[in-house]
Every structure is written in structure tokens, then in C-alpha cells.
Amino acid sequence: MDKIYDVIIIGAGPAGLAAGSYAGRARLDTLIIEKAKDGGQIVITSEIENYPGGVEHETGPSLVDRMVKQADGFGAKKVFDTIVDVELEGDIKHLKGLKGDYYSKTVIIATGAHPKPIGCPGEQEFTGKGVSYCATCDASFFEDFDIYVVGGGDSAVEEALYLAKFGKKVTIIHRRNELRAAKSIQEKAFANPKVDFMWDSVVEELKGDGILTSMVVKNVKTGEVREIVADEEDGTFGVFVFIGFTPHSELFEGKVTMENGYIVTDDDMKTNIPGVFAAGDIRKKSLRQVVTAAADGAIAAVQAEKFIEG
């Protein structure tokens, strides 16, 4: 058998990097495995205003860069590999990657989740330049601008109400003729003079030059297509997409307890498998933010240390 680590962390987003820092600082033999690039979702965030004690003009990449250096400084090792199978039962956990096999006494799953995209032309191009998936992160950038929210469930309507505190007007674009959100949330939205609705509609295309300036919307019942253009003075508008998240959890299906694709943990980040923890957006939780992901990672690492010590 190859080297056995104290803790292996799958994923190098804020949860994984925080876990790496705490585990390394506790002198645990720590390995972080990341399949693509450090930072997870946060690297697409152009500015971070709500991370406690964040520096001025903080960006996703700058915060991640400091987190990476911190984890490195505490001795956490890192490899870039894609894990394709996991054996989590027993005292030694076995992770199979495309590049090799990894063994550990404990595992922290921090693979994250990503917002479901609309899937229309221009969406990727204007992400961070008019298109956002996080109201808490980006609302203040659209103060006194027109804002459009795509979706009709609880999160879409709740976020629309939050965005109404900032925007000139918020229009919810929904593919059906009624919302799916809880009645109490719907009532608040209907009562808010700044919230409008565009029923039976889908976004077909997002356009612009460097930043988002127009959007093509189609009525699914009549087939009518129209283009919404940014106010001349504003030059842009916000499109916030809330049509759900996709957790990166396929690898763990049937191996740990899940709910709607999210891993279920207790307050100590423990899964139903001894020595296996989950942290960040991958786990079932009420708030998905950098600060809560980092907190999850810290807790998971401390609990992993306690588990090893017995």
C-alpha cells in the first residue's frame, strides 16, 4: 500500500483550503486533491465585499491566492487529479484517481456545487459582467439599475426581494404563469411595488460588448420574441439566475447519506461514515457563502483530528 495520509481533502475551494490550513496547522499529514483549479466557484467573482475583514478591492482570485498560500504555509500538500472512485468504509479510506491511488485515515469531501446555468448563448461570456448567480455577493453593484431574476422557486423569489432593496426595478422572468415559491414568499413579492413579473418567458440570448447590454426573451406560449435593451444612461442591467444548484456529488452516491444530491452532515460536518466529513456547498445547508464554506472546512479539519486521536 502507498503512503497513508492523516487527512485527504477532495476539492480546493474555500472549504477545502480552510480545512487544509487547519489540518496542516494541527500537524496532520494532509493532502488536498483538486481536479481543475484552486478556488471553486469563487474564482469567477470579480469583487468580494462581504468576506469579514476582506481587503479593499478583493477579488475571488486574490482571496483564493491568499488561502492557497496559507494552506501551503501550514504544510498541506496538493495534487491535481480527478478522483473516479472512493472506498470510504473501514479504517483506511481508498481514493482512486486518474493519476494514482491515495490512502487516508480520514476524508473531507469539499467538492462544492455550481449554479445551474440558463444554457443560452452569451451567458458564459457575461458571467461577472452583468450575469450573476449570487445576490448576496453582487447586489450592490446594481444599485439603481434594472435587475432581472430568472427562476420561480423559493430562492429566486427570495433573492428578487433582496435585490429589490438595491435595484431600480426587479423583474422575475419565469417560464410558467405562476410561481413555484411558497405562498408566504409569493405574497411578499406581489406586494412589493419594485417587483414585476414576466410570465411564460425564457431567456434566449444575452448580448453586449464587454458588458451585458441586451437580452432576448421568448414567450413560450405565444412564441413572441423581444429584445430588452439596457437604459441608455445605465449602459447595463443585472441578470441573476436562480434555477437551482448542481452539487458535485455523483462520486459519493450510495456511499454516504444524501438529500437531493447534497451530503447530509451533523453540525460537526460528520457524515454517516466514521472518519468521513463534508464541508462547504456540497453539504445540505441553508447558506452557501465563502464565509460559511471556510467555517465548515475549519470544523471538519478539527473533527478529523479528534477522530484520528480517538
The active-site residue, picked from 6, 29, 134, 146, is 134
Q: How far is CA 49 from the centre of its chain?
A: 16
Active site includes 120?
no
Please give the C-alpha separations between residue 248 and each of 47, 140, 178, 218, 262, in angstroms, as whole numbers. 24, 29, 30, 31, 8
Q: Which residues lie closer than 8 Å to 252 by C-beta, 6 or more apart?
A: 86, 88, 109, 258, 263
The active-site residue, picked from 6, 137, 146, 281, is 137
Q: How far is CA 206 from the centre of its chain?
A: 22
Active site includes 138?
yes
DSSP secondary structure letters along the chain: ---EEEEEEE--SHHHHHHHHHHHHTT--EEEEESS-TTGGGGG-S----STTPPTT--HHHHHHHHHHHHHHTT-EEEE--EEEEE-SSSSEEEEESS-EEEEEEEEE---EEEPP---TTTTTTBTTTEES-HHHHGGGGTTSEEEEE--SHHHHHHHHHHTTTSSEEEEE-SSSS--S-HHHHHHHHH-TTEEEETTEEEEEEEEESEEEEEEEEETTT--EEEEE--TTT---EEEE-S-EEES-GGGTTTS-EETTEEP--TT-B-SSTTEEE-GGGB--S---HHHHHHHHHHHHHHHHHHHH-
Q: Which residues are catalytic?
A: 134, 137-138
